[in-house]
Structure 1
């Protein structure tokens, strides 16, 4: 399943970058994270509780921030496992300056699903990914508004 999208945030790229590189903030902005434990440099053990259409799932696995190009881009890699299936993702995230105080986040990547997750179909999973993306950006916007530059 392909993922792509854009969103403009009202903060400069260095502030957005710092916010996304902070483990505690990351745990608050990524929808569904109930536990995030740092296991190395930009690597984490994670637990996510997510409702996927008609199915609820608790996923455990790893998240990694890779290919870091401060403050302009990184790749979010994740491998999550659950009773209802597994998900492997690699999402390239670009932070592009817009004017002097805004940042456009553009993301593009691929998620590979197996098990019951794969059988839910593109339509259900597309709707879920759209909802989760909106929640992520709303959470990130709120977090940026609560911090000082």
Structure 2
């Protein structure tokens, strides 16, 4: 499976970069994470419980970081085993660039799954991976946004919704 996307995050690149290297932030942002320990230098160990289609499993895995360029780029490689459910392994290249909102985060992921997970089919796996990535970035934005302050990204989305509603109702 391959996936790439870009997300706007309302925080400066240095802050986003630091958040991506902090176990507590990762635990708060990764959907289903129950434990994340380690450091950027030694790598992280994580426990994540997820349900993919009919398969629910707890994955234990290791993540290593390389090509660290503070505030700009990092490469992630990881592998997790979920017992009878199977395994997942892969990597991602994450790039950060200043933007009007704060940071434009771009990522390219390549992953492989095996076991019962692989039997679900690529359509289910791809949809699940996209949903997990989207939820991670929503959680990251929420974590980085100041208390009680709507992010510029959320404000733009809200304005688009209001504009659409206004066109239909004429209000």
Specify the structure having the higher radius of gyration (Cα).
2
Q: Which residue of 1 aligns with 2:96?
A: 95
- Alignment size in residue pairs: 146
Residue 51 (structure 1) shift: 1.2
Equivalent-residue separation in structure 1 for 2:141 and 2:39 (angstroms): 27
Which aligned segments of 4 or more residues in structure 1 are displaced greater than 3 angstroms? Answer: none
Any gaps of 5 or more consecutive residues in structure 2? 148-171
Answer whether contact 1:42 1:66 (CA < 8 A) is retained: no
Aligned-pair CA distance for 1:146: 4.0
Following TM superposition, by how much is the alpha carbon of 1:94 offset from its aligned partner in structure 2, in angstroms? 0.7
1:139 is paired with a residue whose SS is: helix
- Counterparts of 2:134 and 2:118 in 1: how far apart (Å)? 22
Higher strand share: 1
Aligned pairs (5 A) from 1:79-90: 79-82=79-82, 83-90=84-91
In the other structure, the counterpart of 1:138 is: 138
Please give the TM-score of this superposition, normalised by the length of structure 1. Answer: 0.91
**Pairs within 5 Å for 1:1-149:** 1-38=1-38, 41-82=41-82, 83-99=84-100, 102-146=102-146
**Structure 1 counterpart SS, 2:31:** coil
Q: Could you tell me how far apart the structure 1 residues matched to 2:146 and 2:113 are?
A: 35
Q: Distance in 2 between matches of 1:39 and 1:130?
A: 26
- Could you tell me whether the CA contact under 8 Å between 2:21 and 2:40 is conserved in 1? no
TM-score using structure 2 length: 0.80
Distance 1:136 1:33 in 2: 11
Cα pair distance change 1:12/1:42, threshold 3 Å: farther
Shift in Å, 1:39: 6.4
Deviations 1:42-79 (A, max 9, x none): 51111110111221111011012221111111012110
